[in-house]
A and B are shown apart, each in its own frame.
Chain A
């Protein structure tokens, strides 16, 4: 997966490149708007991540220019301004998603994966990870032959985990996707909910599925140790 990162702040660009590379992406960097548009039109990228505040040509200009050459290009923009109008402007111009600075890196990776998966998602009725089976139609969960009794929200949380295996999911992202909470609030609640889910899903089983990534969030996968 190739990503073009258009960002003039060298430090930001460097850590994003490092982080994204470690997550298996190939990252090219453009340090201003014009350069960004040039690279985007010359080569093929799966996703473009761009800062709105750019020298020479600002983010909006870049989005418009790229849209003219490649109307289906996927774009995620980063902004330091969390004005509703700013967000609406970006999305109207044709960007797929946005993130407000400061953002957590795991948040960025989660959103990048979501955008890249868009359109390829299959409608699944059953999910199986190790001995965990999720019946999405009947909304029932089993571990081996044992039925696990979950509340609707717990089931939704487990499904979201199962659909994002191996990805570090931040508390903010979980609150947003599972509980529909789109604002800054007490995220201890997410920890409590996950602790309770873990008690039901992992307690008493050999293979642990839900793991804490300290400082970042949670990851759902088979066999990894808790990164405490």
Chain B
């Protein structure tokens, strides 16, 4: 039952402020309490030590007096010349003298004794004189009188050397004042402990609030973010170190979202733009031809043209969907171990007829194994080869070189075609980017081939690089991790 309750409480989401305050206060309280109790105990110990030393010293004085046979007079002088306690106490106890200590020396043989004045009255009810106390001689005992005064009692039997008389020395030290001091000290310690705790709670709360104030800013910024204000950023430089990382991570997240959103917007407008051309063709051709009577052959020509445009649209959609999914990492990469040479060879065989037709040498050499998605890998090689063949003139050559390096494979697709001038290189992988728009359209491309190659390489965690100079041929270098 209680366990369940405790679990329930611990499962409840807690306020960080409350927790911080609690632990901070607890720590401060424990430290204060530790210091207080240590000083309290130390004070008590020191006072007891002083008292004990005092009593033992006085005992030695008495013993020495007895040994030197100073006589009653000498002893009286010692035991009656006792300092009074401070005056303040007198008023409390009916103006009677309060001595700091009391001494009685009794001759055991003849019961003759000398004592400090008032000793009998003050200590009347103490078990000071009975056997039990006597047997515990030389042991200091604490005793409280009915008047609520505190004493330390010490009794000792003493037979001075070369004498046959035994003396009983009894002493009582009034420690009421010390007790009061200790009690007062304790009370003050407890009071300051409580005050300290209160201050600690207050400070803890303030520190936690201050520390978490930046979270408030984070919350507000987050609340304000919509698709129109993705550029909003936090300014975490002034934040505490711990939160700065969060603030920076948050900014980076915004950065990525903004980038992705921008790409998405770009994608939609590209899509609309690219579909416009074939749809325009479809509409135009259909409309013009509907306006007049046609022969069957003419109808066939129109429909064929329309079909070609439709195929083109389907082609664009297929490619764009592939890219969109690759962007969102929605593609489930089902990697298998591929013999890279065989895969490249399959694609080369496909392009062989084309190469022979254009009188281009198409070669593949080297070997390697790597884990990759087969269809994507082939598609990547196919797109690169298709480009290479497209831009290489008759009599040229296209070489694919496969190399296996530490943990990765390196594919170099090299042609000696027309090359690409430097200004186009950085933008080659952009969607719908064409080095020469008219020519690409002519050869059936829609400017997505290399963008697809790039996303396939990215999906596999590889790198791609295009080295080229106008008129000197192009080399595409692809690095893929083996696993």
Closest to A175 in B: B350
Q: B386 contacts which chain A residues (CB < 8 A)?
A: 185-186, 189
Number of A-B contacts (CB under 8 A): 70
Q: A119 contacts which chain B residues (CB < 8 A)?
A: none
Closest to A157 in B: B353
Q: B322 contacts which chain A residues (CB < 8 A)?
A: 184
> Is A84 touching B331 in the complex (CB atoms < 8 A)?
yes
> Is A183 touching B382 in the complex (CB atoms < 8 A)?
yes
B273: shortest Cβ distance to chain A, in Å?
20
> Is A84 touching B334 in the complex (CB atoms < 8 A)?
yes
1/0 per position for B312-337, CB-CB distance to A under 8 A? 01110111011001000011101000
A160: shortest Cβ distance to chain B, in Å?
14
> Is B311 touching A104 in the complex (CB atoms < 8 A)?
yes
Q: A188 contacts which chain B residues (CB < 8 A)?
A: 354, 443-444
CA distance A216 to B303 in the complex (A): 11
Report the interface size for chain A: residues with CB under 8 A from the other chain.
26
> Is B356 touching A196 in the complex (CB atoms < 8 A)?
yes
Residues of B328-364 whose CB lies within 8 A of A: 330-332, 334, 346-347, 349-354, 356-357
> Is B303 touching A184 in the complex (CB atoms < 8 A)?
no
> Is B354 touching A192 in the complex (CB atoms < 8 A)?
yes
Is A85 in contact with chain B by the CB < 8 A criterion?
Answer: yes
> Is A179 touching B354 in the complex (CB atoms < 8 A)?
no
Q: A214 contacts which chain B residues (CB < 8 A)?
A: 300, 304
Chain A interface, >50% SS class: loop
Is B310 in contact with chain A by the CB < 8 A criterion?
Answer: yes
> Is B378 touching A183 in the complex (CB atoms < 8 A)?
yes
CA distance A185 to B443 in the complex (A): 12
A225: shortest Cβ distance to chain B, in Å?
13
Interface residues of A (CB under 8 A from B): 82-85, 102, 104, 151, 153, 175, 179-186, 188-189, 192-193, 195-196, 214-216
Q: List 26 A-B contacts (CB under 8 A).
A: A83-B330, A84-B332, A84-B334, A85-B332, A102-B314, A102-B317, A151-B352, A153-B349, A181-B346, A181-B347, A181-B382, A182-B378, A183-B382, A184-B318, A184-B322, A185-B382, A185-B386, A186-B382, A188-B354, A189-B350, A189-B353, A189-B354, A193-B354, A195-B357, A196-B356, A196-B357
Interface residues of B (CB under 8 A from A): 300, 303-304, 307-308, 310-311, 313-315, 317-319, 321-322, 325, 330-332, 334, 346-347, 349-354, 356-357, 375, 378-379, 382-383, 386, 443-445
